[in-house]
Amino acid sequence: MFPPENNATLYCYANGTWSSRSFYDYCLNAITNPPGSHVSASVSTTQTIFYVGNSLSLAAVALALWIFMSFK
């Protein structure tokens, strides 16, 4: 679950007005990866799946076009 202390804050002043900008400073700790995380390995795997999938799709389209043109 997401820790509640890592959220954006909009301040309400004593006179009843709100600040014009939100504070995102507390969110930065939630964005950074902890040491020893496996994000880079996950990104590499995701990129490999992306390129293999797109290559197979392109090959299938090329094959379909070749078959289509051969019946012309």
Contact call for residues 58 and 50 (beta carbons, < 8 A): no
31-40 contacts: CB < 8 A, separation 24 or more? none
**Residue whose pair of structure tokens reads 């995380």 in the numeric block:** 37
The segments of the chain whose pLDDT lies below 50 read none
Asked whether the whole model's pTM tops 0.85, one would answer: no
Contact call for residues 22 and 9 (beta carbons, < 8 A): yes
Please give the structure tokens belonging to residue 61. 């389209």
pLDDT at 44: 82
Average pLDDT for the chain: 79
**Residue whose pair of structure tokens reads 């795997």 in the numeric block:** 45
